């Protein structure tokens, strides 16, 4: 078994959701969820089919984001893996809806941070062992940083 870290290329100003699903209709179902969850959001989806023709299926409302999702899916090349790249929406706006899609098995991450996917490869194919999302912590927050965090969440409208 060989391990590899695959860097996810996220377009400027975009967020990414990586997950695992189990059925060919993933692309259509994720498209419907995303287009209705945040009207006007731009996104691209790519799904690596793990049986039959083993194609990367894709859809989206933005061709640049769809193409970026396909490139990332090709780089990871793990079966039943999906990539969603979002612009003009945030994962927090759609994540519960994505998790509710009946064929979605799990979410690896949802982030705008630099991202690597740890992939294992065997004679059968490739699978995701985990993700490296952003950077390692540099310390614990101070009381002043707690207050900054609270103000930031209220400025964004996430808290009253």
Dump pLDDT digits (tens) for 57-76.
999 999 999 999 999 999 99
Cα distance between residue 125 and residue 110, in whole Å: 25
Judge contact between 57 and 143, C-beta under 8 A.
no
CA pair distance 48, 102, nearest whole angstrom: 17
The whole-number pLDDT of residue 46 equals: 98
Is residue 158 scored above 90 in pLDDT? no
pLDDT at residue 160 is higher than 90: no
The CATH number corresponding to 2-155 among 3.90.580.10, 3.40.1520.10, 3.40.50.300, 1.10.10.10 equals 3.40.1520.10
pLDDT tens digits for 84-136? Answer: 999 999 999 999 999 999 999 999 999 999 999 999 999 999 999 999 999 99
The whole-number pLDDT of residue 159 equals 86
pLDDT, tens digit (0-9, with 9 covering 90-100), for 4-43:
999 999 999 999 999 999 998 999 999 999 999 998 999 9
Q: What is the pLDDT of residue 156?
A: 87
pLDDT at 51: 93
In the block, tokens 């089919």 appear at: 49
User: What per-residue confidence (pLDDT) applies to 125?
Assistant: 95
| pLDDT above 90: percentage of residues in the chain | 94
- The full set of domain ranges for the chain reads 2-155
Distance CA 98, CA 32 (A): 10
Strand order in the sheet with 15-21: 56-60, 42-48, 81-87, 15-21, 104-111
């Amino acid at each position: 078994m060989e391990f590899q870290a695959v860097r996810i290329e996220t377009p400027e100003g975009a967020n990414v959701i990586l997950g695992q699903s189990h059925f060919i209709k993933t692309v259509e179902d994720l498209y419907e969820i995303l287009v209705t969850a945040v009207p006007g959001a731009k996104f691209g989806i790519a799904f690596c089919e793990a049986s039959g023709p083993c194609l990367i299926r894709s859809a989206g409302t933005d061709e640049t984001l769809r193409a970026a999702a396909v490139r990332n899916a090709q780089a990871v090349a793990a079966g039943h893996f999906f990539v969603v790249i979002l612009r003009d929406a945030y994962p927090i706006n759609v994540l519960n809806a994505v998790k509710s899609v009946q064929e979605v098995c799990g979410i690896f991450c949802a982030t705008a941070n630099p991202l690597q996917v740890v992939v294992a490869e065997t004679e059968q194919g490739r699978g995701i062992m985990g993700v490296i999302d952003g950077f390692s912590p540099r310390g614990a927050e101070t009381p002043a940083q707690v207050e900054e965090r609270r103000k930031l969440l209220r400025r964004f409208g996430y808290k009253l």
